[in-house]
Amino acid sequence: MNWTVVQRILGLLLMMFSVTMLPPIIVSMIFDEQSWLPFVEGFALTLFAGLITWFPVRKLRKELRLRDGFVVVAAFWTVLGTFGAAPLYFADEITLSVTDAVFESMSGLTTTGATILTGLDALPRSILYYRQQLQWLGGMGIIVLAVAVLPMLGVGGMQLYRAETPGPVKDTKLTPRITETAKALWYVYLAFTIACTVAYMIAGMGWFDAICHAFSTVAIGGFSTHDMSIGYFDSPAIDVVAIIFMFAAGINFSLHFYAWRFVSIRHYAQDPEFRAYTAFLITISALVVAILFQQQHYANPGQTLINGLFQAVSIATTTGYTTANFSAWPAALPVVLILASFVGGSAGSTAGGIKVIRWLLIYKQGMREIVRLVHPSAEIPVKLGNKAVQYRVVDAVWGFFSVYVVVFAVLMVAMMSTGLDQVTAFSAMAATLNNLGPGLGDVASGFQTVSDIGKWIAIVGMLLGRLEIFTLLVLITPTFWRH
Amino acid sequence: MKVLILGAGQVGSSAAYHLSREEANEVTVVDVSPDILRELQDRLDIRTVVGHAAYPDVLNRAGANDADIVVALTDSDETNMVACQVAYTLFHTPTKIARIRSADYMNAKDLFTQDAIPIDVRISPEQLVCDYIEKLILYPGTSQVLDCADGRVQLVGAKADRDGLLVGQRIATLREHIPNTEGRIAAIYRNGKSLAVEGDTIIQEGDEVFFIADRKDIRVFMSEMRRLEDPVRRVVIAGGGNIGSRLAKALEQTNQVKIIERDSVRARYISEQLNKAIVLVGDAADEELLLEENIDNVDVFCALTNSEEANILSSMLAKRLGAHKVMALINRASYVDLMEAGSIDVAISPQQVTIGSLLAHVRRGDVVKVHSLRHGAAEAIEAVAHGNRDESKVVGRKIEEINLPKGAAIAALVRDGRVIIAHHDTEIETDDHVILFLTDRRKIEYLEQLFQVGVSFV
């Protein structure tokens, strides 16, 4: 292990991140609020911490190894969640314990969107903006951003990129240079954010709300500036905009990149994951709307359609916006929706969950077993599109799946032991591990009632979910530390 | 520059390594083996594409559309040729470089025209290595001989020993020793670090000295560095592969050559190709065979088989049995470092030889040529100054006025085939070949710009 390299990069990243506490100060000046002090304090604290970490080893020039990459990413997300909490903790308008502040900050960064705050509408705009911005930074990945703007990472950039980006296949680069790939992803992300802001404004949002919600929509986060989330606006136009952009943000961003580069949408139709993702969302939406109709939950068919569609897309992509209290929906709908969040979005998107491509591969393997029973001596590769998938990838998917299940079960039992009932514990873990946000039962609208230990378990869950478990898990295995 | 490398073998991988280290390059490597590519991508900041290197679809996926240069380095000559053809016809790639092993193809010069098989530069690693060894044998005692200014002048590396006339003396006395020659000492490496070459620098035993001199003066210079060795007469080559048999062919007229080949069928084939050299069937590590063939009288023993471990062992054996000097073909850099300190006199890295020549072609036009020294630890750059004082950043300027990057130093100028010693007030003229030594390869790009005739530069 190369501790000095890790230290240098961590310091640099912290200093870089400290800059992100400056925009809220501008927001507070625009709205003439007195709430800028916590951000200045947060900025100074983070910058200083970064500086003392970086300064002693600033002259060091060494390549980042594969192992160091894991440590940097895991440590950075952990440290960042903590430092990101500083402004929330310092703020006078809200009184948060350390646990609550870290929970809120981590929930933002990991794009979970679960909150412990109530009375959002009355909070200063700068704090609201800061929460949304955390989600936006976490969406495409703060490390990917760092790789894009810090060219000196070199090959090390690839190790970091791989440890952060979701999905089973991480070696596909959009461009030969990792820096360029990271830049391309952030440009696409930025373009989507701007488009989303404009669309929200056209649909009738004020500019501040539009920016804030665009941040959390393209990041598939789920934070809102209002307690009632998107339901506050009560506008079908805004719902539709949100649905479109949540759907788009759940697609693999390299597809967006190709579409932009080659000015064609052919790539989408050819991508097996995209097709499965679309088919899955359509099925879930149809199911939800059909059951709502059948149960006559809403009097108005238009309302049924828009609420059903919105909630299905929002939960299945793991965004977590709400227009309706879906936990009170009839029949098995709440559970169906929570289960849908396990699928999540595509690999390489900003969504959480296990990812469509993994489910697709698992499904194809199941199908292969059936064919094998009929033709025992057949050679049947698992194929995506027309290409055979490497055994290594298939193995990795199973490995991921089993660890996901185990981690889920362990954390859920731990959650139950803090005094939550089973439905609440189950949905709380689904909401955090899948980076979804809202759960069922006691956590339907937020994690306010969960105990401190429960919140820490949730924090661990969110981080595990965002970093796709292994990045964090390797650090606690003896193999990793053995030289 | 967008570079497309086809084939991730030894040469392909190290080309990718060298090119991707320079910030301006975007490198994509194509190979059929996903395992090799994965391993390569772990180490280098490159993009990899799995597939057959000559297939249009694969080339398209690898970004042949906007590639500036295609370097085809797969095992197969035919694949390389077709890949270049495809790149030219379908993707209009401007520069195409290919490795062509077979001498038959190489000799058919008319084949490689734009309307037949459009390959701009053909590289034959076997030929390059063979030339390299030939030079080392021709100038005994040298560890590296490189052609500068199209071979009119040579850059020679040699290890100083206590019998060298100049060893233990100030460099400035070189003039007194050999008054009538053009040439100069360009660089000195002591314990792996480069020393500043000044008039009063003293050369010590064990220093690695690089000097630039006219072809005919090399022997005189060598005598300044170490005891002059007799010209090589008896050569034994172990391994009758492509390199071994080519070398035997090149040397058989001037030297007594014996070549040992294990495979009797191959041995028979080589013996048909060679006229004077003696082909022996047997194991190069067979003590009896070596003794029987008077190994103790042999001037140079070259181990050139495909297996580097076998090369190391057989040349160590030959050395112990009395061969005066042993050379071994070793690919791994770590082995090279290990062996040169020990019982093997010269370790030849085919990869290094090929890469040097390959990279020289990858560079833009004739502006800059790069030679790797000391197995890549330093570079000798040969740049041609073009234009006049207004167009160029170097022409018409004194050396002290040129804005060189850190770690670069001008060692000498070659003007009209004559070596000119680079003093701080020497003025560079157009068409001078400027020879620079550079320790940091990443500065190459800067040097390229320096020597480019700039329209923007007024």
The tens digit of pLDDT for each residue in A339-384 reads: 999 998 998 888 888 999 999 999 999 999 999 999 988 888 888 8
pLDDT digits (tens, 9 = 90+) for B8-44: 988 888 888 888 877 778 899 999 998 898 888 888 8
- Cα–Cα distance between B160 and B226 in angstroms, integer? 5
Tokens of A468: 């796709």
Whose tokens are 């360029």? That residue is: A180
Q: Which of residues 115-154 of A touch B (CB under 8 A)?
A: 151, 154
CB of A273 within 8 A of CB of A346?
yes
CB of A415 within 8 A of CB of A421?
no
- Closest to A171 (Cβ–Cβ): which among B20, B41, B44? B41
Tell me what the pLDDT averaged over chain A comes to. Answer: 88
Nearest to B379 by CA among B321, B311, B448: B448
Nearest to A216 by CA among A305, A117, A322: A322
Which chain A residues contact residue B23 at CB under 8 A? 151
What is the predicted pLDDT for the residue at A274?
93
Which one is predicted more confidently, B179 or B266? B266
Count residue pairs from A and B with Cβ separation < 8 A.
30
- Closest to B44 (Cβ–Cβ): which among A155, A180, A390? A155
Tokens of A315: 């939960």
Instruction: Locate the chain B residue with the closest alpha carbon to A154.
Output: B45
The β-bridge partners of B325 are: B300
Q: Please state, for a pLDDT cut of 90, what percent of chain B lies above it.
A: 15
Dihedral of alpha carbons A325, A330, A335, A339, sign: negative
Q: Which of residues 342-371 of A touch B (CB under 8 A)?
A: none
Which chain B residues contact residue A390 at CB under 8 A? 34
Mutating which of A64, A177, A394 best tests the B interface, going by the most B Cβ atoms within 10 A?
A: A177
Distance from CA of A312 to the nearest CA of B (A): 36
CB of B329 within 8 A of CB of B304?
yes
Nearest to A217 by CA among A196, A238, A188, A235: A196
Instruction: Locate the chain B residue with the closest alpha carbon to A258.
Output: B61
What is the 8-class DSSP label of residue B209? Answer: E
Which chain B residues contact residue A168 at CB under 8 A? none
- Closest to B45 (Cβ–Cβ): which among A66, A157, A171? A157
Which one is predicted more confidently, A435 or B444? A435
What is the predicted pLDDT for the residue at A242?
93
CA distances from B297 to A94, B261, B276 (A): 92, 20, 19
pLDDT band of B458, cuts 50, 70, 90: very low
Average pLDDT over residues B290-297: 87
For residue A477, what are the contacts with CB-CB under 8 A and spacing of at least 6?
none
Distance from CA of A169 to the nearest CA of B (A): 11
- Asked if the C-beta of A34 comes within 8 angstroms of chain B's C-beta atoms, the answer is no
Which one is predicted more confidently, B178 or B272? B272
pLDDT digits (tens, 9 = 90+) for B125-156: 888 888 888 888 888 878 788 877 777 778 88
What is the predicted pLDDT for the residue at B220?
79
pLDDT band of A483, cuts 50, 70, 90: low
pLDDT band of A180, cuts 50, 70, 90: confident
Mutating which of B31, B43, B47, B48 best tests the A interface, going by the most A Cβ atoms within 10 A?
A: B47
What is the predicted pLDDT for the residue at B456?
47
Give kind and range of the element (H or E) at residue B413: strand B408-415
The β-bridge partners of B238 are: B260, B303
Nearest to B185 by CA among B162, B205, B202, B206: B202
Tell me which amino acid residue B211 is.
F
Q: Do the Cβ atoms of B47 and A154 come within 8 Å?
A: no
- Closest to A175 (Cβ–Cβ): which among B26, B34, B44? B26
pLDDT digits (tens, 9 = 90+) for A453-470: 999 999 999 999 988 888
Q: Do the Cβ atoms of B45 and A180 come within 8 Å?
A: no
* Side-chain-side CA neighbours of residue B102 (13 Å): 11
CB of A409 within 8 A of CB of A433?
no
How far from the centroid of its chain's Cα atoms is residue B401's Cα? 31
Q: Please state, for a pLDDT cut of 90, what percent of chain A lies above it.
A: 40
Which one is predicted more confidently, A176 or A343? A343
Average pLDDT over residues A308-316: 92
- Cα–Cα distance between B148 and B161 in angstroms, integer? 25
Q: For the packed helices B10-21 and B350-362, what is the interaxial angle rounded to 10 degrees?
A: 50
Q: Which of residues 99-118 of A touch B (CB under 8 A)?
A: none
Cβ neighbourhood burial of B51 (10 Å; 0-12, 13-18, 19+): middle
Average pLDDT over residues B158-177: 78
Nearest to B369 by CA among B377, B379, B378: B379
- Asked if the C-beta of A67 comes within 8 angstroms of chain B's C-beta atoms, the answer is no
What is the predicted pLDDT for the residue at B386?
78
- Sheet bearing B418-421, strands edge to edge: B368-373, B378-384, B433-438, B408-415, B418-421
Q: Do the Cβ atoms of B45 and A176 come within 8 Å?
A: yes
- Cα–Cα distance between B159 and B177 in angstroms, integer? 19
Tell me what the pLDDT averaged over chain B comes to. Answer: 82
Which chain B residues contact residue A183 at CB under 8 A? none
Q: Do the Cβ atoms of A157 and B63 come within 8 Å?
A: no
pLDDT digits (tens, 9 = 90+) for A102-126: 999 999 999 998 888 888 888 888 9
pLDDT digits (tens, 9 = 90+) for A35-74: 888 899 999 999 999 999 988 888 877 777 778 888 888 8
The β-bridge partners of A154 are: none
- Cα–Cα distance between A254 and A464 in angstroms, integer? 24
Q: Do the Cβ atoms of A390 and B41 come within 8 Å?
A: no
- Cα–Cα distance between A417 and B232 in angstroms, integer? 85
Which chain B residues contact residue A254 at CB under 8 A? none
pLDDT digits (tens, 9 = 90+) for B206-222: 788 888 887 777 877 88
Dihedral of alpha carbons A19, A160, A99, A423, sign: positive
Q: Please state, for a pLDDT cut of 70, what percent of chain B lies above it.
A: 94
- Closest to A176 (Cβ–Cβ): which among B42, B43, B47? B47
- Cα–Cα distance between B383 and B402 in angstroms, integer? 14
Cβ neighbourhood burial of B68 (10 Å; 0-12, 13-18, 19+): middle
Q: Do the Cβ atoms of B2 and A155 come within 8 Å?
A: no
What is chain B's percent helix, strand, coil content, to nearest 5? 35, 25, 35
Per residue, the 3-state secondary structure of chain A, as one string, reads CCHHHHHHHHHHHHHHHHHHHCHHHHHHHHCCCCCCHHHHHHHHHHHHHHHHHHHHHCCCCCCCCHHHHHHHHHHHHHHHHHHHCHHHHHCCCCCCCHHHHHHHHHHHHCCCCCCCCCCHHHCCHHHHHHHHHHHHHHHHCHHHHHHHHCHHHCHHHHHHHHHHCCCCCCCCCCCCCHHHHHHHHHHHHHHHHHHHHHHHHHCCCCHHHHHHHHHHHHCCCCCCCCCCHHHHCCCHHHHHHHHHHHHHHCCCHHHHHHHHHHCCCHHHHHCHHHHHHHHHHHHHHHHHHHHHHHHCCCCCHHHHHHHHHHHHHHHHCCCCCCCCCHHHCCCCHHHHHHHHCCCCCCCCCCCCCCCHHHHHHHHHHHHHHHHHHHCCCCCCCCEECCEECCHHHHHHHHHHHHHHHHHHHHHHHHHHHCCCCHHHHHHHHHHHHCCCCCCCHHHCCCCCCCCHHHHHHHHHHHHHHHCCCHHHHHHHCHHHHCC
What is the predicted pLDDT for the residue at B367?
57
Which chain B residues contact residue A182 at CB under 8 A? none
pLDDT digits (tens, 9 = 90+) for B348-403: 888 778 877 777 777 654 556 777 776 666 778 888 887 777 777 778 888 778 88
A86 backbone dihedrals φ, ψ, rounded to 5°: -55, -50
- Closest to B34 (Cβ–Cβ): which among A155, A177, A390? A390
| Calculated CA dihedral for residues A5, A9, A15, A20, nearest 10 degrees | -170
Reported pTM = 0.79
What is the predicted pLDDT for the residue at A342?
93
CA distances from B114 to A207, B6, B82, B358, B363 (A): 60, 20, 13, 20, 21
